[in-house]
Amino acid sequence: MPPAVQAEEKVASPWAEAWYSFKKNKLAVIGMMIVLFFILLAIFAPVIAPEGINDQKLDARLQAPSADHWFGTDDFGRDIFSRVVFGARISLWVGTFAVMGSIVIGCLLGILAGYYGKWIDAVISRAFDIMLAFPSILLAIAIVSVLGPSLQNALIAIAVINIPNFGRLIRSRVLSVKEEEYIMAARAVGMKDSRILFQHILPNSMAPIIVQGTLAIATAIIEAAALGFLGLGAEAPNPEWGKMLADAKQFMIQAPWTMIFPGIAIMLTVLGFNLMGDGMRDALDPRMKS
**pLDDT given at position 15:** 65
Greater pLDDT, 162 or 21: 162
Greater pLDDT, 111 or 10: 111
Output the domain CATH number for residue 132.
1.10.3720.10
In a domain, 66, yes or no: no
Q: Which domain does 39 fall in, by range?
A: 14-48+71-288
- 290 pLDDT band, cuts 50/70/90, is very low
In a domain, 8, yes or no: no
In a domain, 22, yes or no: yes
How much is the average pLDDT of 205-231?
Answer: 87
**pLDDT given at position 272:** 92
pLDDT (tens digit per residue) in 250-283 = 888 888 888 899 999 999 999 999 998 888 887 7
**pLDDT given at position 102:** 93
**pLDDT given at position 10:** 47
**pLDDT given at position 11:** 46
In a domain, 63, yes or no: no
9-13, 173-177, 178-182: range with highest mean pLDDT: 173-177
Mean pLDDT of the chain: 84
Question: What domain count does the chain have?
Answer: 1
In a domain, 6, yes or no: no
pLDDT (tens digit per residue) in 119-160 = 888 999 999 999 988 888 889 999 998 988 888 899 999 999
How much is the average pLDDT of 183-198?
Answer: 77
In a domain, 2, yes or no: no
How much is the average pLDDT of 21-32?
Answer: 85
In a domain, 84, yes or no: yes
In a domain, 59, yes or no: no
In DSSP notation, the chain reads --HHHHHHHHHHSHHHHHHHHHHH-HHHHHHHHHHHHHHHHHHTHHHH-SS-TT---GGGTTPPS-SSSTT-B-TT--BHHHHHHHHHHHHHHHHHHHHHHHHHHHHHHHHHHHHH-HHHHHHHHHHHHHHHTS-HHHHHHHHHHHH-SSHHHHHHHHHHHHHHHHHHHHHHHHHHHTTSHHHHHHHHTT--HHHHIIIIITGGGHHHHHHHHHHHHHHHHHHHHHHHHTTSSSPTT---HHHHHHHHGGGTTT-THHHHHHHHHHHHHHHHHHHHHHHHHHHH-GGG--
